[in-house]
Amino acid sequence: MLKKKDRYNVAVVGATGAVGNEMIATLEERDFPVGRLRLFASEMSEGRNLKFRDADIPVEILNEDSFIGIDIALFSAGGERSRIWAPVAARSGCVVIDNSSQWRMDPEVPLVVPEVNPHDLEWHKGIIANPNCSTIQMVVVLKPIYDAAGIRRVVVTTFQSVSGTGKKAMDELMQQTVAILNFKPVEKNVYPHQIAFNCIPHIDSFLENDYTKEEMKMVNETRKILGDDSIGITATTVRVPVFRCHSESLNIETDKKITPNEVRAVLSAAPGLVVYDAPEKNISPLATDVADRHETYVGRIREDESTENAINMWIVADNLRKGAALNAVQIAEKLVEMA
């Protein structure tokens, strides 16, 4: 467990990536008690400087001694690098908060969303997993409903922005859009299909059950976070031509009856959520409005009239913030609070 201090030495691994940049910005915006900040990335980024609190912080390359004296390491460098370096960091005595999928389903590693299962931090052994971006925003909404009425089944369809793939995907959307508007050929490098003015009905590779890895992450991670393997969950994940923010359509079947107004009341009282739901005024969460915000926004709350005890809703969150960097920093904040 983290030792109580006034200031904590923090490392960000994968600092030059989209999520790494957001981690640095979030640490500063939330005034996390950083003593010393060290930034790590690949050899390609060596020699660069990144800003933190008006200081230029050099980007370094990882080695076996990089984590000596570090209290908390935020990882956003991909699963393979996490597999290699997270145990090195943990052995050096720091707590790793990892944003990759490498450790999420490891039974020895807690998978944490602070608004949902902060108690799981108590049994970490040096590595804590940050859930998948699409899972995080969904479980923040599911938890209050689960506590109020129980959940039997969830049907989710995601509409995920290209920033979930990274900067190269964002650049590709921009380049394809410009090409199409100028009647020029479209180049495809990041995605197997054109993403501009299009929707791609699968994210990540396919598994033997014809679901994708992204879809099964949502199934398995949700059950682990909520601590309930009995919940039926089915997912369809879609990549859409939006730069930032993931949107999700949820159908939630509850154990007992809960009305739309009761759902609004429960969600309004829950941490990390904003109920933004006034259809008569054409008010619903939009990706263009939620970008750069920390909360998960919920709207289109209505009863599913085709079956008993079911609710439909629409949720939107910034996948780089709550879906990645913010959740990781919130975990760090919770560790400091528990120290």
CA distances for 65 relative to 11, 39, 58, 79, angstroms: 12, 14, 17, 20
Which residue among the candidates 133, 202, 245, 294 is catalytic per the annotation? 133
182 and 102 Cβ atoms separated by less than 8 Å = no
Q: What share of the chain is helix, strand, coil (3-state, %, to 5)?
A: 35, 25, 40
Residue 259, token pair as written in the block: 């009305």
Which candidate in 124, 202, 245, 246 is catalytic?
A: 246
- DSSP annotation of 280: G
Residue 146 is which amino acid?
Answer: Y
Pairing status of strand 8-13 against strand 72-75: parallel
Instruction: Give me the helix-helix angle, 133-149 and 260-268, nearest 10°.
Output: 110
Query: 246 an active-site residue?
Result: yes
Active site residue 124: no
Q: What is the DSSP string of 111-173?
A: B--TTT-GGGGGG-SSEEEPPPHHHHHHHHHHHHHHHHH-EEEEEEEEEE-GGGT-HHHHHHH
Beta carbons within 8 Å of 174's beta carbon, 6+ residues apart: none
Distance (Å, whole) CA 85 – CA 75: 9
What are the catalytic residues?
A: 133, 246
